Amino acid sequence: MANRIPRVPVREQEAKVRATNFEEVCYGYDEKEAVLEASRCLNCKNPRCVGACPVNVKIPAFISRVAAGDFSGAAAVIAEDSSLPAVCGRVCPQETQCEGSCILGVKAEPVAIGKLERFVADWTRENGGLEPVKAEPNGHRVAIVGSGPAGLACASDLAKLGYDVTVFEALHRPGGVLEYGIPEFRLPKDKVVAAEIAQVKALGVKIETNVVVGRTVTIDSLQDEEGFEAVFVGSGAGLPKVMGIPGENLNGVFSANEFLTRNNLMKAYRDDYMTPIHTGSKVVVVGGGNVAMDAARTALRLGAHTTIVYRRTEKELPARLEEVHHAKEEGIEFAMLTNPVEVLGDEKGWVRAVKCIRMELGEPDESGRRSPVPVAGSEFEIETDTVIMSLGTSPNPLIAKTTGGLETNRRGCLVADESGVTTRQGVFAGGDAVTGAATVILAMGAGRKAAAAIHEYIGGNCKRLIFD
């Protein structure tokens, strides 16, 4: 029986080897492995996995085609709902979404949905790709702010409906967080990100880089002067948060956002680029999310002994279990129940150590997690050359400040309803710009919902959808 077949393991680089390079950690399935794993799917009549997917990929349908060896057919099924399958197959938190809802997971291991999606996407790319189907133009124009997962998903859906879509990207390469935030060893840029963006462009989507909305152009000018009937804001959340502790302005203190951007987008890890970054021999990363894991594993590959400092226990780490597992395998140390109180510097203004305090868990906070409480008199120092603060991010306030009628909440996020409708007529928003830093797939889901709302808005003769 299908459910008696054990989950097919995925091949990976050996830990000691991959800790010294930026090549992709996971090798993925080959054809034989993919077919075998796909045969485990029960093809449920009421598949919970589909409902748990933010973009509602028809998971049993594509997996059944993989099981039959019809990889092109599987790709066509995925393409109905996802424009970034190779990305999602690599970075989605499947364990808490589709795979977390798989019925096989009740008594055994769930189907490896993410690895199968990755296989299909990679196989399709290596075998010529899907032929894009361009829709007949409908005569309407839509502007997209940001070329990250939310913007790309919104642009794809609108292009398939016949809209003339232009995406405006502030950086010199499209992709948003896919390009600047996620390291090469988790998400290859040219092989995967650029290739999937090319598929989006093949639908007719135009992407203009080096355009800072709020400076180069404004939403007012896009609407009033350039004739865009609707604007979707998917500008992400790139503004780093800080702890506000003494010494945070010393040389050698980075936000994770800056550190990863300089490595991923500016190629600091490559000898053939004139954009190096200072790490020294010891690095401390503050935080416990996926971004903290990315920063720590990047620092390790740059040659530094790396320690992750987190104020709760390992059980409360918000990072994916796979990322924590990989980090441990590679030799990264974890200092749990530890919180920085000061960054200490030398006479030249460079970091020399982090002063920390031991923590213990008290009562649950608003998130349901037990709140960390300092242990009096437990201060100690960790010697380090570099400190990377991975404390989350918030949206850049530039767009809100330069756009009248566009409201934000107390966290600086754009106010929008579940469909992406904002408080400004004809402006929609989704992804991290609305929720704060979240996942790639949630941003894509928001982009798709906004595309549907924009279609209704324009198709309904621009009827007012602003919520109260």
Domains of the chain by residue range:
2-126, 141-238+394-459, 242-391
Is this model's pTM higher than 0.85 or not? Answer: yes
Q: Which residue, 92, 95, 93, 90, is CA-closest to 110?
A: 95
* Same fold yes or no, 2-126 and 141-238+394-459: no
CA distance 443 to 43: 27
* Class level of CATH domain 2-126: mainly alpha
Query: Which amino acid appears at position 238 of this protein?
Result: G
Coil/strand/helix, residue 218: coil
Confidence at residue 129, expressed as pLDDT on a 0 to 100 scale: 81
Query: pLDDT tens digits, the chain, 468 residues: what are they?
Result: 455 789 999 999 999 999 999 999 999 999 999 999 999 999 999 999 999 999 999 999 999 999 999 999 999 999 999 999 999 999 999 999 999 999 999 989 999 999 999 999 999 999 988 888 888 999 999 999 999 999 999 999 999 999 999 999 999 999 999 999 999 999 999 999 999 999 999 999 999 999 999 999 999 999 999 999 999 999 999 999 999 999 999 999 999 999 999 999 999 999 999 999 989 999 999 999 999 999 999 999 999 999 999 999 999 999 999 999 999 999 999 999 999 999 999 999 999 999 999 999 998 887 787 889 999 999 999 999 999 999 999 999 999 999 999 999 999 999 999 999 999 999 999 999 999 999 999 999 999 999 999 999 998 544 444 443
**Range 320-327, long-range pairs (CB < 8 A, 24+ positions):** 320/93, 320/95, 320/290, 320/293, 321/95, 322/95, 323/290, 323/293, 323/294, 324/293, 326/15, 326/25, 326/293, 326/297, 327/293, 327/296, 327/297
The pLDDT of residue 462: 44
Contacts of 215 (CB under 8 A, 6+ apart): 398, 402
Do 205 and 159 form a contact (C-beta atoms < 8 A)?
A: yes
Class of the CATH domain delimited by 141-238+394-459: alpha beta
**Of 181, 184, 65, residue with least CA distance to 123:** 65
Q: What's the CA gap between 107 and 99, in Å, rounded? A: 13
Cα separation of 328 and 297, whole Å? Answer: 10
- According to the CATH classification, is domain 242-391 in 3.50.50.60? yes
Residue with tokens 């200092």: 335
Q: Which residues contact 178 (CB under 8 A, 6 or more apart)?
A: 84, 87, 148, 149, 187, 193, 440
- Tokens 């992407």 belong to residue: 207
Question: Which neighbouring-strand residues pair with 388?
Answer: 254, 285
**Number of DSSP helices (H) and strands (E) in the chain, helices first:** 17, 18
Do β-strands 239-240 and 393-394 pair in parallel, antiparallel, or remain unpaired? antiparallel
Which DSSP state fits 224?
H
**Nearest in space to 255 (alpha carbons), one of 393, 354, 355, 356:** 393
Residue 460, pLDDT score: 56
Question: How far is it, in rounded angstroms, from Cα 407 to Cα 392?
Answer: 22
Residue with tokens 């680089």: 13
Res 131: pLDDT: 85
d(CA 398, CA 419): 23
Q: Which helix (H) or strand (E) holds 220?
A: helix 219-224
Closest CA to 373 of 360, 363, 355, 354: 360
CB 57 within 8 A of CB 117: yes
By the 8 A CB rule, do 140 and 459 touch? Answer: no
pLDDT of residue 3: 58
